[in-house]
Amino acid sequence: MPSADASLELLQLQAELVATRQLVQAAQTKALEAEAKAARVEAINADLLARNAHLELMNALMRRDKYGAKSERASRLIDQLELGFEELEADASEAESIAAQAAAKTTTVGPFTRQRGPRRDFPAHVEREKRVIPAPEQCPCCGSDALSHLPPDITETLEKVPARHKVIETVREKVSCRHCEKIRQTPAPFHVTPRGMFGPHFLADLVFQKYGLHQPLNSQRDRLEAEGIPLSISTLADQVGAVCAALKPISLLNDAHVLAAERLHADDTTVPRLAKYKAEVARIWDYVRDDTPFGGAAPPALMCRYSRNRKGEHPRAHLAGYTGILQVDRYAGFNEMFKEGWADKAMTRANCWQHGRRKLFVLVDVASQLKGKKKGKVPLISPLAREGLEMIDQIFAAERNINGESADERLRVRKEKVAPLVDQLKAWFDTQRKTLSRKDPVAEAIAYFLNDWEGFTTFLEDGRICLTNNAAERPLRSVARGRKSWGFVGSDRGGERAAMLFSLIGTCRLNDVDPLAWLTDVLARIADIPQNRLHELLPWTWKTLQNSDPAKIAA
């Protein structure tokens, strides 16, 4: 039996434990309140920026109407203002959704609700489809079946079906119990965006057209208007921001899958960013996980990031803590990640042979030399460059035969067949470098290899490494093509939003998944699926479930 002193000490410890728990709970509550307040302030600021952009656009339109300026320059200015307003409106909608999520975790901070114009009715000529949600047949309160029907609530949601639009009228019947006088009604279905004006397929098509097919919202607005659906850029941008907020959890899971890879491909491309006086050159970075070359079972995935410039601090922040293999070009911004002191250990660098080969190829390619040359100037074909190119092509030919084999098999073949070819090329490089001027184009191409020969020969020691970085270059082709359509990103937040959607759509394409079908299903299901099953909405898992049980996807 414990003594009185021991019992007293036990009581004191219990009291201290209770007090500590209360302090921790109070600290957590204050942290949640601070987060909610910060999100609310950010939402208010984003709303003010969107309102200001809208006023600038209205001012420009009124000035054009008043003074009759119809020049091409004035039209371009209106288009630029519309694109900038589109991004800020989406920013404000996304910030509003985030603030609402943060406010839901507290009891002292209320959500910020943006002031929007009155909801416009959809045109009467648009086809309607009535979906009736029946009221309960018995009163859930007392079990009586003596129910009287009241006027139902009707919500109109614009949905897109192939080649036509229709308005779905969701009629929720309402009943009143004659015994207990309680009014009962089935809850309204979930809508991805506020006010439930648009269905999942319409929203998926809107987002996919913008980020997958690179059609700006002003172009989509004009197309919808031509089809008899008058919608403003403000309304469409509002939906884009809300959709991005809804897809954020899927994006985080996709990014975690990419960063868990043993080997990553990395690259970047330019994206103009709208600025006050002159467009700035921002960047879209992509990081690709693709284990298929060495027979890996993990599904491929793409992670994109946005930055305002090309400083090396950006990829270092994107890959903070990553210590695997990184396949890159010779960009110096990656160098710090391959030195001691980076995380637990330095990354392993694998340079891209395609970049080095390209420097020799342009010296023997007539078409590339004629570009930008003065008329009548004869291109020069370098015999030395052709000789080096043929030796590199032998290495590429040997690598093609082992693509898709296991890492061990690839390493065995490389030791046996590829390593001698690489040694032969290295000897040729050393010989030619001694005889050529440093300014000679062939010498410069050789120096590109020899200045980091260790990074080019890493693949001989690891069967998982690829010879090129083409896996990272391929997804960026879509961004490069899109620049001709959308011209620039309107804001930093717009660039981040674009990077997130490029990631998800690119991951769908890497897994042979139709991005539009995937987006439609995800937007229809993401609110109802439990968090521990959220991974089922990742493109590769979604595809597997759809192939095994299509009814499960449709449920």
At residue 72 the predicted structure's pLDDT band, cuts being 50, 70 and 90, is very low
How far is residue 423's CA from residue 458's CA, in Å, rounded to a whole number? 13
Sign of the CA dihedral with 521 first, then 527, 528, and 529 last = positive
Query: What pTM was estimated for this model as a whole?
Result: 0.77
Q: What is the pLDDT of residues 502-511, one digit of tens each?
A: 999 999 999 9
Does residue 108 contact residue 515 with C-beta atoms inside 8 Å? no
Residue 226: predicted pLDDT: 87
Q: Given the DSSP bridges, would you call strands 280-289 and 301-307 parallel, antiparallel or unpaired? A: antiparallel
Q: What is the pLDDT of residues 233-277, one digit of tens each?
A: 888 998 999 999 999 999 999 999 999 999 999 999 999 887 777
Residue 378: predicted pLDDT: 59
Residues 6+ apart with CB under 8 A from 83: 216, 218, 274, 486, 487, 488, 490
The tokens of 547 are what?
Answer: 């192939």
Q: What is the pLDDT of residues 78-124, one digit of tens each?
A: 667 777 777 888 888 888 888 888 888 887 888 887 777 776 778 88
> What's the mean per-residue pLDDT of the chain?
86
Least confident residue range of 185-189, 385-389, 404-408 = 185-189
Residue 373: predicted pLDDT: 61
